[in-house]
Amino acid sequence: MRTLYHYTLCPFSRKIRLIMTEKKLDFDLEHEKFWEKREEFLLMNPAGQVPIFVDLNGTLVADSYAIGEYLEETYPDKQFIAGSPATRAEIRRLVAWFDDKFSREVSLPLMFEKTLRRYLREAGPTNSTAIRSAKAAIHLHLQYISWLVDRRKWLAGDDLSLADLAAAAHLSVVDYLGDVPWDDYEPAKEWYMRLKSRPGFRNLLTDRLPGIPSSSHYAELDF
């Protein structure tokens, strides 16, 4: 069976879970406590990060950028980086927007402060300035999503693409933690509701992290 090593609230792992479910690929999930740095895990990915994907033929792919492109090339029946060269470039620009900019400004600081910090010895007390900055930074991103979906059906154009899956993966982590001010951004909320009702999202919505409850509306399709 295909295997994905992941962490429940890792946005990059969630992006790959969404791609695989949308492509109708079966896979087992292995929850990896990557901060424990077990030896077999570091041998699979010396960067010490999830996700790591192992395909049916044993091919091992580490890093969510590499896995996303690998799945797109290896399982092309349903594509999420499709269209003209310009459209494909637009999809990848937006994937980078969320995987790079949004993660740096919003999703990773919140995930770190609210979940990872409690597993890490010597990580020290919660940095409330980092939480405040992340919660301030998310507004610009929700504004940008609203601006895009006011003009396009999906983030990168007429079709659902990897850009939507990447963005939704990051937002789902922040939404689990209750830090998305949806009500101020109706178009973004409507776009996220459309994604939430897709089959690929169901698995994410049943995820729970011991000791860290999800926001009350996290699993609601209509929130």
**Shortest CA distance to 104 belongs to which of 65, 68, 69, 130?**
130
Task: Please say whether the beta carbons of 82 and 159 come within 8 A.
Answer: yes
Specify whether the CB–CB gap between 80 and 165 falls below 8 A: yes
Site string for a second copy, 131-150 (x = CB under 8 A): -------------x------
Is residue 112 a contact residue for a second copy (CB under 8 A)? no
Is the link from the previous residue into 51 a cis peptide, with omega within 30 of 0?
A: yes
Q: Where are the alpha helices (DSSP H) in the chain?
A: 11-22, 39-44, 64-74, 85-96, 108-114, 128-151, 162-176, 186-196, 199-206
Strands 3-6, 28-31: pairing kind:
parallel
**Nearer to a second copy by C-beta: 48 or 213?**
48
Q: Is 8 or 143 the residue whose CB approaches a second copy more closely?
A: 143
**Touching a second copy, residues 159-178 (CB under 8 A):** none
Q: Which range of residues in 90-98, 124-132, 190-198, 201-209 is near a second copy by CB under 8 A?
A: 90-98
| Residues in 26-45 that interact with a second copy by CB under 8 A | 45
- Least separation in angstroms between residue 179's CB and a second copy is 22
Residue closer to a second copy, measured from CB, 129 or 197 = 129
Q: How far is the CB of 222 from a second copy (least distance, A)?
A: 31
Whether 45 and 196 have beta carbons less than 8 Å apart is answered as no
For residue 166 the two structure tokens come to: 């990447």
Q: Does 89 bind a second copy (CB under 8 A)?
A: yes
Residue 212 binds a second copy (CB under 8 A): no
Q: Which residues within the stretch 42-81 sit at the binding site for a second copy (CB under 8 A)?
A: 45-47, 59, 61-63, 65-67, 69-70, 73-74
DSSP assignment of 102-159, as one string?
Answer: IIIIIIHHHHHHHTGGGTSTT--S--HHHHHHHHHHHHHHHHHHHHHHHHSSBTTBSS
- Smallest gap from Cβ 22 to a second copy, in A, equals 19
CB-wise, 58 or 210, nearer to a second copy? 58
- Which residues are near a second copy by CB under 8 A? 45-47, 59, 61-63, 65-67, 69-70, 73-74, 85-86, 88-90, 92-93, 95-97, 100-101, 144
